[in-house]
Amino acid sequence: MAVLVTGGTGFIGSHTVVELIEDGREVVILDNLCNSKECVLDRIEKITGKRPAFRKVDLLDLEGVRAVFREFPQIDSVIHFAGLKAVGESVAKPMLYYHNNITGTLNLCHAMEEAGVKRIVFSSSATVYGKPDSVPIREDFPLRTTNPYGETKLMIERILSDITVAYPDWSVSVLRYFNPIGAHVSGHIGEDPKGIPNNLLPYITKVAGGKLPCLSVYGNDYNTHDGTGVRDYIHVVDLAKAHLCALDRAAKVKGIEHFNIGTGNGYSVLDIVAAYEKATGIKINYKIVDRRPGDIDECYADPAKAKELLGWEAQYGIERMCEDSARWQKQNPDGYGE
Ligand code: WQD
C-alpha cells in the first residue's frame, strides 16, 4: 500500500517523506512546485537510497488529481501538506489563499472519495488558536484565527470534520504544528524559503551565513521573561515522525482527532539567538525594532494528548535544532539553488 503526500517536496513534506521511506513505506508525492524544487527528490534519494514517485500536479486541477489516484491504485492514505502558508501574504491576497487552500483540499477529498481512500493526516497549525487566554495550549482551547491563512486551516479542519460525519468510515488526523525548525542531520534537506525569510530561524541562518546583515527582533515589550516573543520550536524531524504515528493511529480509529504537535517548551527570540550562537560559535547581529502586527506574546503546546494517543513526543532540544539548521545552511548557502 502507498501513502500519497501532497506538498511532499516542501520543507515538512520532504522530511516526512524521508521518514516514511526509511520506515519501509511506499510514497507517491503530488506537488505543483510553486514553493519547492524538483531537485528535492534527488536529496531524498541521496538520504534514503530510494526515489519516491512524483507527479507535478496542482490540487486545483481535479482531473490531474484523479489521474494520480488512477495511476497508483495502491494509495490507501494521504498526508496533506500542500497549501500556501505565508501569513502576511494571506492578508494581502485572501482570495488567492481561500481558493488555493480550500478548493485544493476539496478536490483532494473528492478524488479520495471516488478512489475509496478514507484515511488522511492534515497539516494544520497552532495559528488556529489565535492569541490564547493562557499557555500551554490544549486541543480543547477556543479556536479563533487572526488571518486568512489561519482561517483556511480552520475551515479545512471543519470540512474534514463534516466529512467524517457524512462518511463515518473515514479516519482523519489533524496535526496542529507549532514552530517547525531545523533540518535533517545529513544537511541534504532543509528549509528554503523564497526571498527574505518571514520566519525567525531561516532569517537567523541567513544572518549567520552572511546573506543578511542583521536580525530585526520584533519587539521586546511582550509579557515574557525577556520581553521578546515566546514560541514552541519543534525539530522538523520530530514533527515528521508525528505524521507516521498519526497515520498508524488513523488506521485503527475512525472519525476525526486533533493533536498539538509541539515540545511543550517555550523559547523567546533572544533564547533562540543565544542557542544558535552557542551551537555554531557565530555571533548573530540583531537590533530591537517595533512589534510585527499580529504577533502574540506566548504560544506553546501541551503535547500530552499526542503522547497518550499517538505514542509520540519530541526527542530533540533547541541546541540540536540550531545545529541542524546551521549544517543545512553551511552545506547549502543558497538553499536548493536555481
Ligand atoms: C517567531 C518569533 C516573531 C522573524 C508563523 C505562522 C505559523 C507557522 C509558523 C505556518 C515571533 C519573531 C520572527 C524575525 C523576529 N507557519 N521574529 N524577527 O509568527 O510564531 O508563526 O510561522 O504554519 O502559522 O504564524 O513564527 O518564525 O515568524 O516568528 O523577531 O525576523 O520570532 O515576532 O515572536 P510565528 P515566526
- Ligand 1: residue whose CA is nearest its atom 32: 200
Strand order from edge to edge, sheet including 53-56: 53-56, 26-31, 2-6, 75-80, 119-125, 171-177, 255-261
Q: Is 218 a catalytic residue?
A: no
85 lines ligand 1 (CB under 6 A): yes
CA of 232 to the centre of ligand 1 (A): 10
The C-alpha atoms of residue 72 and residue 311 are separated, in whole angstroms, by: 30
Nearest Cα residue to atom 36 of ligand 1: 199
CA dist 63 and 66 (Å) reads 5
What's the gap in Å between 198 CA and the centre of ligand 1? 7
Tell me the CA–centroid distance for residue 211 and ligand 1, in Å.
Answer: 19
d(CA 13, CA 6): 8
CB of 265 sitting under 6 A from ligand 1: no
Burial profile 61-76: b = 16 or more Cβ within 10 angstroms, e = fewer: ebebbbebbeebeebb
Q: Is 220 in the pocket of ligand 1 (CB under 6 A)?
A: no
Mutate to test the pocket of ligand 1, among 199, 285, 289 (most ligand atoms within 8 A of CB): 199
Residue 146 CA, ligand 1 centroid: distance in Å: 14
Task: Tell whether ligand 1 has an atom less than 6 A from the beta carbon of residue 216.
Answer: yes
Q: Which residues of 293-303 are buried (b: 16+ CB within 10 A; e: fewer)?
A: eeebbbbbbbb
DSSP string covering 1-25, please?
Answer: -EEEEETTTSHHHHHHHHHHHHTT-
* For the CA of 215, the nearest atom of ligand 1: 31
Question: Is any atom of ligand 1 closer than 6 Å to the C-beta of 273?
Answer: no
In this prediction the pTM is: 0.98
How far is 275 from 298, CA to CA, in rounded Å? 18
d(CA 206, CA 217): 15
For residue 182, the CA-to-ligand 1 centroid distance in Å is 14
- 118 in ligand 1 pocket by Cβ < 6 Å? no
* Alpha helix positions (H), the chain: 11-22, 40-48, 62-71, 87-92, 94-97, 104-115, 148-166, 200-208, 236-250, 269-280, 304-305, 318-331
Q: What is the pLDDT of residue 151?
A: 98
Find the catalytic residue in 149, 177, 233, 267: 149
Cα gap 95→98, rounded to integer Å: 5
Residue 127 in contact with ligand 1 by CB distance below 6 A = yes
User: Which residues have CB under 8 Å from 114's CB, separation 6+?
Assistant: 66, 69
Q: Quote the CA–CA distance of 222 and 97 in Å, as a whole number.
A: 30
Distance from the alpha carbon of residue 177 to the mean position of ligand 1, in angstroms: 13
Distance between CA atoms of residues 337 and 217, nearest Å: 27
Instruction: Indicate which atom in ligand 1 lies nearest the CA of residue 295.
Output: 33
Tens-level pLDDT at each residue, the chain (338 residues) = 999 999 999 999 999 999 999 999 999 999 999 999 999 999 999 999 999 999 999 999 999 999 999 999 999 999 999 999 999 999 999 999 999 999 999 999 999 999 999 999 999 999 999 999 999 999 999 999 999 999 999 999 999 999 999 999 999 999 999 999 999 999 999 999 988 999 999 999 999 999 999 999 999 999 999 999 999 999 999 999 999 999 999 999 999 999 999 999 999 999 999 999 999 999 999 999 999 999 999 999 999 999 999 999 999 999 999 999 999 999 999 999 97
Residue 338: per-residue pLDDT: 77
Cβ of 125 less than 6 Å from ligand 1? yes
118 within 8 A of 170, measured Cβ to Cβ: yes
Question: Whole-angstrom Cα distance, residue 35 to residue 56?
Answer: 12
Per-residue b or e along 86-124, where b marks 16 or more CB atoms closer than 10 Å to that residue's CB:
bbebbeeeeeebbebbbebbbbbbebbeebebbbbbbbb
